[in-house]
Structure 1
Amino acid sequence: MRIALGGITHEANTFCPRAADMSSFEARQLARGDEILANWQRTGTEQAGAMSVFSSQPRCQVIPTLLARALSSAPVEEKTFRRLLDELVERVHAAQPVDGVLLVLHGAMMSEAEPDATGEVLARVRAAVGPGVPVVGTLDLHANVTERMLREATALIGYHTAPHVDMFETGQKAARMLVETIEGRITPAAALVRLPMLLPPENSTHNWGPLSEVIHMALEMEREGALLHGGIYPVQPWMDTADVAASVVAITDGDPAAARGRAMELARVFWARRGEFTSELVPPDQAVRRALARPPRTVILCDSADATTSGSTGDSTVVLRALLRAVPFEGTALANVVDPGAVARAIEAGIGSTVTVRVGGGLAPETFAPLSFTGYVKTLSDGTFTFKGPGMRGVPHHMGRTAVLVQDGIHLAVMERGVSQWDPQLYRSLGLEPADARMVQVKSPMAFRAAYEGLYDEVIVVAAPGAASPQLASLPWQHLPRPIYPLDPETAWP
């Protein structure tokens, strides 16, 4: 059995001012051929999960092709997307004959010219291997699943968790489904139901709240044997495109009608819970006052509007301004901002020196304003660290050269490049311990909760501007299909 393994993964945010180019993929993940086997087998990723299944199969040969992943941003630069896709397809061609293909995807990728870039990837790979070869893809929970994606793939398998702690298991499930399809033991039949709604992610978790109910229903259908897979997709809500929607995908063994019925059953419950996804948003100064009014235990200041994994730029200073207005206070606060120029000035000054820098507002000046920050240089780092997990366990991250500046108890990590903030290793790699801080700024709407579990006493979601704002009505929409909830509260479905 010969299986080609590859994929291109990116999550588009059309409100971000900066597109992903080749350097964006090089900074996050760009692996070819045997590099995939050598560097990713011991990580908590989809490809590692898939490889663990394939390695247990007798006479199964994996042909690694191309794996590319970039941090969320504006749609991928067209020439970069085409270059990566052409290489992926060429490598799949070179791997033939193959019995199957497993693709690691996100599902919310756009390029500058292709709003359904994931569908384009699937279509090109399908054309390369022909209609008779099974093609199974993995998806993020926030995929924008389209009819084209479903048509070109044999099956699409999405995460069941938010925070995303089942990447490895999703890869395993997709690999098992691919193997069983190749061997003729199952015939996946899928149905897609799309819902006219966009949901902010702060309250979208599998552990509690409205999303958990729908996910648990899907899992119960799988346990009963009614479904091979039930995918619940709240969608990446910052995609201003004419074909965006939350969705449900139900996959049965050879029964399209049953798949449609189960998908509708799940979709009705999902739709009925649409009004329960909002979170309390607290103005920045009030958020800091509330944190300081509590006993001196760690409070997370969730700056989700500037989440780099949601497509914002990471250079907001809104929370930092509120912290500066609150000094002096007992204890320490950890904050972060992307600003390459400020990093360079801190490096020039050197450890132990006091430096005044203007930080923030350089990447998205139409949204964020810089501020002056005077502090002593506590730490200089190359910005490389590895996630401990559970999400993305073992995955290296590179925030570029990084400096820690300290002023009045505020420890500010200034980095050259935005990275995922799911894991406290970001701060720990700089000698900062979140569990010992009074307040910790995290630029992530929800995914940080898994790795930060047990470290904090409360999470306060800050009402702030940014490309990933949960205040969806505040964003300059132009292309959305209307009506759509919550922008149009009276939206009806079905």
Structure 2
Amino acid sequence: MSVAPRVLVAGLFHETHTFLEGETGWEDFEVLTGDALLQLRGNSSPLGGVLEVAHTLGWDVVPTLMALAAPSAIVGDAVFEQYWGQFAGLASQAEREAPLDAVFLVLHGAMVCQSIPDVEGELLTRLRKLPGLSEIPVFGVYDLHANFTPAMARLSDCLVAYRCNPHTDGRASAVRAAYLLQRALETGVVPRTLLAQPGLIWPPTGTGTDTDPMKSLVQLARVLQEETPEFWEVNVNAGFAYGDIHDAGVSFTIVTEGEPEQARASLDRLCQAALAMAEVGNVVERPASEVLPLLDRHAPGLTVLVEPSDNIGGGAPGDCTGLVRAMLAERLPNAAACLCDPHAVAILRQHSPGDVLTLPLGGRGSRLDPGPLLLEVELQGCHAGRFELRDKQSHLATMVGDFFDMGPCAVVKHGELTLLLTSIKTPPMDLGQWLHVGIDPARFSFVAVKAAVSHRRAWDPISKGNIWVGTPGPCSSDLRAFPFQHVRRPIFPLDPLSEVTHGPISAS
């Protein structure tokens, strides 16, 4: 194109855990508009990557708004209406000023409101009804854990998923999607999206791309894309198991300029491969009472104890006490853990290093937890919580960019256990969390992390291995324990695998 294309850029990013208590409100979202949005150009987030490409290619970027919140409970309807009101106003104003050539969206793909189960699909539905936006290309990037819906496939032209979990490629995926949009703008060829949904729903612990089933599925997707020039992108969506909507679960999309039958054949191969590995993805941890007594407490090196039930990256509160209690009961030497407890931090900030006091710690964020743990601790020090990420390609960088704020925090000790207490729940995806408070986590023998898979890029290089431990909490890998009401049935593991076949292929 000889004239700089006008590309409207927006983002809406939330992974919704519908089984959590409470409600996520507008005040829980970080909202960026105008110049504040444009200033993210070049940072480590997907939006930063898109804006960098736009600058390189000479797009005329029309910023609307980016709204992002940490994974949490179901979102109030008023949040979406607030977002939509601002977005529609800015988009309509931009269209009145001059025609728009395209839209680029930064999405999660698993956002749920009280009466809107498919938020991204609803956004696209409304977007397509705005003046000037019904026919222009709509491209974007989204999280590998999206619960991809037929509306998302039908109403977008090319949405590109992350390929890695941990999400080390969020920015790179956004860059890839931006260059695909440039291809469409230059050639005039706009692809279509086809979707397939096998009857599978996997817990987050089964969705790491360094192991099967996701490793093989992502590899197959790359082979199919390389074999077929008409395929612009082949996406493997692990789904988000704790979003109880009709379309929750594993899915695949192919963005193609070719014949639908060609894509359908490839989607069928992906579905059959996923079904063949259904059991492999259904990872369920053994209880802490069975796992911890078997640990070799005198072997050199760091062992990471992974607590998926309190997975902060999945929406859990980050203050569950199950694993910490088990570690204390087993008297694990040279151990460490992190709990989100702003109440305890506020009290500790009134004391000096060396002070000893008894505090109730954690246990307030989930009804599944036994409650606060009463513990005598010695204060090591208090700290401000904002830190720069050590790894700008980490899962956390994809979520927040280059910096994260834990809020005021404190380090305490109880015997052989060191506890980092934060005021804001902090996903254990970057070692800067510990290094910021002057602690090298590699010196410990055992560290508890509240994650499923997303921690591994940070912790694997300094540890000798991970051991996943089952405890009470809202992100348990045992999906049969959750009261699903809306997901389509039959679906494995909620139903026998023998009853499951992959669903219909939806073409836009």
| Shared fold per TM-score greater than 0.5 | yes
Give the structure 1 partner of residue 101 of structure 2.
Answer: 99
Deviations 1:305-338 (A, max 9, x none): 11111011112000110121123x54x2121112
DSSP-derived class of the 2:57 partner = coil
Deviations 1:25-50 (A, max 9, x none): 13xxx221111222x22322211221
Q: Quick check: 2:156–2:193 contact (8 Å CA) kept in 1?
A: no
Give the structure 2 partner of residue 46 of structure 1.
Answer: 46
C-alpha displacement at 1:383, in angstroms?
A: 1.7
C-alpha displacement at 1:412, in angstroms?
A: 0.9
In the alignment, does 2:323 pair up with 1:323? no
Give the structure 2 partner of residue 491 of structure 1.
Answer: 499
Give the structure 1 partner of residue 170 of structure 2.
Answer: 167
Residue 373 of structure 1: which of 372, 375, 388 is its match? 375
Q: How does 1:394-433 map to 2 (within 5 A)?
A: 394-433=401-440
Partners in 1 of 2:489 and 2:165 — Cα distance? 27
Give the structure 1 partner of residue 239 of structure 2.
Answer: 235
C-alpha displacement at 1:365, in angstroms?
A: 3.1
Q: Quick check: 1:381–1:401 contact (8 Å CA) kept in 2?
A: yes
In the alignment, does 2:465 pair up with 1:458? yes
DSSP-derived class of the 1:94 partner = helix
Identity of aligned residues (%): 28
DSSP-derived class of the 1:229 partner = strand
Give the structure 2 partner of residue 73 of structure 1.
Answer: 72
Structure 1 unaligned spans of 5+ = none
Give the structure 2 partner of residue 383 of structure 1.
Answer: 385
Partners in 2 of 1:92 and 1:380 — Cα distance? 46
In the alignment, does 2:197 pair up with 1:191? no
Deviations 1:200-220 (A, max 9, x none): 122322223221111111112
- TM-score w.r.t. structure 2 length? 0.91
Q: Quick check: 2:139–2:177 contact (8 Å CA) kept in 1?
A: yes
Q: How does 1:103-182 map to 2 (within 5 A)?
A: 103-128=105-130, 129-182=132-185
DSSP-derived class of the 1:23 partner = helix
C-alpha displacement at 1:368, in angstroms?
A: 4.0
C-alpha displacement at 1:73, in angstroms?
A: 1.0
Q: 1:302 to 1:109 in 2, by over 3 A?
A: same
Give the structure 2 partner of residue 259 of structure 1.
Answer: 263
Partners in 1 of 2:322 and 2:304 — Cα distance? 15
Deviations 1:331-363 (A, max 9, x none): x21211122211111112233321211012212
In the alignment, does 2:278 pair up with 1:274? yes
Give the structure 1 partner of residue 366 of structure 2.
Answer: 364
Residue 211 of structure 2: which of 196, 208, 213 is its match? 208
Partners in 2 of 1:323 and 1:245 — Cα distance? 33
C-alpha displacement at 1:301, in angstroms?
A: 0.8
Partners in 2 of 1:11 and 1:470 — Cα distance? 17
Partners in 2 of 1:283 and 1:251 — Cα distance? 42
Partners in 2 of 1:142 and 1:93 — Cα distance? 31
DSSP-derived class of the 2:192 partner = strand
Give the structure 2 partner of residue 61 of structure 1.
Answer: 60
Give the structure 1 partner of residue 37 of structure 2.
Answer: 36
Partners in 1 of 2:402 and 2:293 — Cα distance? 36
Amino acid in the other structure paired with 1:104 = V
Amino acid in the other structure paired with 2:428 = Q
C-alpha displacement at 1:266, in angstroms?
A: 1.4
Partners in 2 of 1:280 and 1:447 — Cα distance? 17
C-alpha displacement at 1:246, in angstroms?
A: 1.5
Residue 434 of structure 1: which of 417, 428, 441 is its match? 441
Q: Where has structure 1 moved over 4 Å in runs of 4 or more? A: none
Q: Quick check: 1:315–1:362 contact (8 Å CA) kept in 2?
A: yes
Q: Which deviates more, 401-410 or 86-95?
A: 86-95
C-alpha displacement at 1:107, in angstroms?
A: 0.5
In the alignment, does 2:314 pair up with 1:314? no
DSSP-derived class of the 1:411 partner = strand
Partners in 2 of 1:194 and 1:151 — Cα distance? 14
Partners in 2 of 1:145 and 1:352 — Cα distance? 52
Q: 1:127 to 1:438 in 2, by over 3 A?
A: same
Partners in 2 of 1:456 and 1:226 — Cα distance? 43
Partners in 1 of 2:353 and 2:19 — Cα distance? 37
Give the structure 2 partner of residue 83 of structure 1.
Answer: 82
Give the structure 2 partner of residue 354 of structure 1.
Answer: 356
C-alpha displacement at 1:366, in angstroms?
A: 4.3
Amino acid in the other structure paired with 2:406 = M
Amino acid in the other structure paired with 1:335 = A
Q: 1:318 to 1:65 in 2, by over 3 A?
A: same
Amino acid in the other structure paired with 2:20 = C
Q: 1:170 to 1:411 in 2, by over 3 A?
A: same
- TM-score w.r.t. structure 1 length? 0.94
